[in-house]
């Protein structure tokens, strides 16, 4: 299944707020409450929707998300927590959380077009897994700096998670540590995602 490129509000109305997918909000508050007007949901649908939240928020294909789940399941620690950490430490998400891009798709485009450096080196892989003490900066090019400046000017610094440090004047961000569960930028019940994949996979 390919990455979703359709109407974004359609997913927000069904799943709730997805800040990584779009920074725009529906015109009416009721748009986010439409999902509560339908008949009672089955347990399967509830688990499916939590899984879909992750997929659309982080902009992943089904295959990519399943791959992350399998990695998380083999790692030490609670599978749901490890899964969220893997997703949050992706380079495109780190750029988004730093405010260098207004959405994760926008951050992915910055990475793909080589506007961003990691520890002084060009990285064009959005799924690059950031580590503590990694330094993310804008490439020393007029276009790169202009794109990131526009995003930083509209970024609310109170939204910056504790595992990151931003130096806006230098257009530089620092990864202090691995994110904890409280710093995740999405309201999600990760245990339901684990339940969904545990029932769907046998390997």
For the segment 52-70, what is each residue's pLDDT rounded down to a tens digit? 989 989 999 999 999 999 9
92 Cβ contact partners less than 8 Å away, ≥ 6 residues apart: 59, 101, 104, 107, 108, 111, 126, 127
Q: Nearest Cα to 3, choosing from 63, 47, 68?
A: 63
Q: Which CATH architecture has domain 90-178?
A: Roll (3.10)
The CA-to-CA distance between both ends of the chain, in Å, stands at 20
Per-residue confidence (pLDDT) for residue 40, from 0 to 100: 78
Phi, psi torsion values for 80, nearest 5 degrees: -60, -40
Per mean pLDDT, which range of 54-63, 101-110, 179-188 is the poorest?
A: 179-188
What ranges make up the beta strands (E) of 50-163?
116-118, 121-122, 135-138
pTM (2 decimals)?
0.85
**33-37, 39-43, 154-158: which has the minimum mean pLDDT?**
33-37
**pLDDT value, residue 108:** 94
Nearest CA to 105 out of 11, 203, 176, 195 is that of: 11
CATH number of 8-86+183-200: 1.10.1050.10
Specify the pLDDT at position 1.
44
Judged against a pLDDT cut of 90, whether residue 193 lies above it is answered with yes
Residue 102's nearest CA partner among 19, 44, 34, 200 is 19
Please report which confidence band the pLDDT of residue 136 belongs to, taking 50, 70 and 90 as the band edges.
very high
Are residues 136 and 117 in contact, defined by beta-carbon separation less than 8 angstroms? Answer: yes
Angle between helices 43-58 and 79-88 (to 10 degrees): 30
Q: Is the pLDDT of residue 6 over 60?
A: no
Q: Report, as an integer, the average pLDDT of 10-34.
A: 60
Other CB atoms within 10 Å distance of the CB of residue 157:
9
Q: What is the spatial distance between Cα 108 and Cα 94, in angstroms, rounded to a whole number?
A: 10
pLDDT value for 123: 94
Model confidence band, residue 203 (pLDDT cutoffs 50, 70, 90): very low
- Delimit the domains of the chain by residue range: 8-86+183-200, 90-178
> How remote is the C-alpha of 26 from its chain's centroid?
20
CA atoms within 13 A of residue 101's CA, in its CB half-sphere = 26
Ordered strands of the 164-167 beta sheet: 121-122, 116-118, 135-138, 172-175, 164-167
For residue 187, the model assigns a pLDDT of 86
When mean pLDDT is compared across 29-33, 57-61, 87-91, 98-102, the lowest value belongs to: 29-33
């Amino acid at each position: 299944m390919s990455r979703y490129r359709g109407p974004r509000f359609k997913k927000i109305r069904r799943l709730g707020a997805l800040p990584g997918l779009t920074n725009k909000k529906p015109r009416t508050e009721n748009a986010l409450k439409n999902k509560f007007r339908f008949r009672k949901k089955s347990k399967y649908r509830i688990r499916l929707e939590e899984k879909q939240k992750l997929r659309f928020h982080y902009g992943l294909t089904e295959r990519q998300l399943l791959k992350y789940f399998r990695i998380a399941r083999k790692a030490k620690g609670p599978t749901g927590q490890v899964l969220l950490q893997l997703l949050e430490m992706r380079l495109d998400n780190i750029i988004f959380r730093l405010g260098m891009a207004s959405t994760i798709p926008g951050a992915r485009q910055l990475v793909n077009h080589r506007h961003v450096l990691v520890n002084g080196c060009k990285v064009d892989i959005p799924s690059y897994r950031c580590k503590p003490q990694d330094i993310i900066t804008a490439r020393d090019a007029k276009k790169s700096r202009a794109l990131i400046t526009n995003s930083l000017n509209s970024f609310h610094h109170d939204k910056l998670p504790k595992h990151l440090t931003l130096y806006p004047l230098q257009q530089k961000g620092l990864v202090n540590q691995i994110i904890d569960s409280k710093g995740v930028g999405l309201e999600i019940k990760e245990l339901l995602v684990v339940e969904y994949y545990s029932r769907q996979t046998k390997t």
